[in-house]
């Protein structure tokens, strides 16, 4: 009798422990699904803000403001990605988590690239190429929807089902659907142009550059009020993505329009550019260029370039390079 009683007690203990473990696992899976749903809802709100800003574009004079507004949505997307990295992830949904991080990273990167193209898209001389680039980034954003709907959501549902947790219905777990790109037409350049209120098919011209010297010379760049040194290492905070204030001179004999200034972190995909509407012979101009993302910590060569303008034949003084340590 004593042996039987002990055996019964041991069985009850084992069953109790197992029941507790199952309950903890199920709670962890439900919490993960709820956290994913919360982030998807936040991402949907970012989408509403992002596409609202794009649809409100109205002319090149508003380009800087629009870029800043779009960059605010990038910061929201970055925050969502950071939150996803910090989530507790049960082993049963580790594959779903990898795809979820990819979803949010694609959204952050797509928004960042659109922010860099918005000013060129609103400038007549660079509009068509920039609009094409924005449409390509829309394809990236739409691909993030496919990754989430075709991989993340089904994998979470499968893990819940395998654990005996009901999905859907009145009492089951709800898996967020989510849709970042609200209209597939955003993937077509002509629709992007119509929403930005710019002409997509720019007329061809055979007008030759005016006689005389054309071109610019890069003079200096600064970050946070500190002028960068071309000969010694400069230390810059990588986050948030830094803004470079570049001063250059029109050293030609002609007024130049739609002058592009680009800053690149060599050896990476990190860069930024802006368009200066007009420069005057013999006068300095200033360009504010924000990088499209934070560089990884380390030492790099950063180049700042005034792009070639029509009729410019000498570009040896268009670029300055700086050794920079991002921290």
**Reported pTM:** 0.58
Instruction: Give the pLDDT score at 251.
Output: 95
CA neighbours closer than 13 Å in the CB half-sphere of residue 19:
6
In Å, the largest CA–CA distance within the chain is 112
Q: Which two tokens stand for residue 293?
A: 């993302």
Protein fold of 216-326: Immunoglobulin-like (2.60.40)
Instruction: Give the pLDDT score at 18.
Output: 47
The rounded average pLDDT for each run of 10 residues, N- to C-terminus, in the chain (327 residues) is: 53 52 79 94 95 76 82 95 95 93 95 92 84 92 93 92 86 88 90 84 63 95 95 93 94 93 90 89 93 91 94 92 95
Alpha helices in 163-226 (DSSP H): 189-196
Alpha helices in the chain (DSSP H): 2-55, 63-85, 94-122, 127-147, 153-162, 189-196
Q: Which two tokens stand for residue 175?
A: 């898996």
Q: At how many degrees (to 10) do helices 94-122 and 189-196 cross?
A: 60
Strands 284-290 and 243-250: antiparallel
**Whole-angstrom distance, CA of residue 300 vs CA of residue 224:** 18
Give the H/E segment covering residue 268.
none
Q: Which two tokens stand for residue 309?
A: 């303008």
**Whole-angstrom distance, CA of residue 301 vs CA of residue 240:** 19
Start-to-end CA span in the chain (Å): 71
**Whole-angstrom distance, CA of residue 222 vs CA of residue 287:** 11
Instruction: Give the pLDDT score at 206.
Output: 53
299 contacts 292 by C-beta, under 8 angstroms: no
């Amino acid at each position: 009798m004593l042996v039987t009683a002990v055996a019964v007690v041991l069985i009850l203990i084992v069953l109790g422990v197992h029941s507790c473990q199952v309950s903890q696992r199920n709670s962890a899976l439900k919490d993960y699904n709820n956290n994913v749903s919360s982030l998807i809802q936040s991402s949907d709100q970012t989408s509403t803000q992002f596409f609202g800003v794009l649809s409100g574009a109205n002319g090149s004079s508003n380009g800087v403001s629009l870029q800043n507004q779009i960059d605010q949505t990038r910061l929201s997307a970055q925050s969502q990605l950071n939150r996803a990295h910090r989530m507790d992830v049960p082993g049963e949904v580790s594959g779903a988590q990898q795809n979820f991080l990819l979803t949010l990273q694609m959204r952050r990167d797509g928004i960042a690239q659109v922010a860099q193209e918005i000013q060129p898209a609103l400038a007549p001389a660079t509009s068509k190429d920039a609009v094409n680039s924005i449409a390509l980034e829309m394809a990236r954003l739409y691909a993030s929807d496919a990754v989430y709907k075709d991989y993340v959501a089904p994998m979470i549902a499968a893990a819940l089902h395998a654990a005996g947790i009901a999905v859907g219905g009145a009492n089951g777990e709800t898996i967020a659907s989510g849709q970042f790109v609200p209209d597939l037409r955003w993937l077509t350049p002509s629709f992007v142009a119509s929403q930005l209120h710019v002409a997509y098919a720019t007329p061809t011209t055979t007008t030759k550059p005016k006689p005389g010297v054309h071109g610019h010379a890069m003079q200096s760049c600064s970050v946070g009020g500190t002028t960068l040194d071309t000969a010694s290492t400069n230390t810059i905070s990588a986050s948030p993505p830094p803004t470079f204030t570049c001063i250059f001179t029109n050293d030609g004999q002609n007024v130049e329009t739609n002058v592009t200034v680009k800053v690149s972190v060599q050896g990476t995909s990190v860069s930024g550019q802006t368009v200066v509407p007009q420069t005057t012979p013999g006068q300095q101009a200033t360009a504010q260029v924000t990088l499209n993302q934070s560089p990884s910590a380390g030492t790099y060569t950063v180049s700042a370039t005034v792009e070639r303008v029509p009729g410019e034949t000498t570009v040896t003084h268009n670029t300055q390079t700086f050794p920079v340590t991002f921290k």
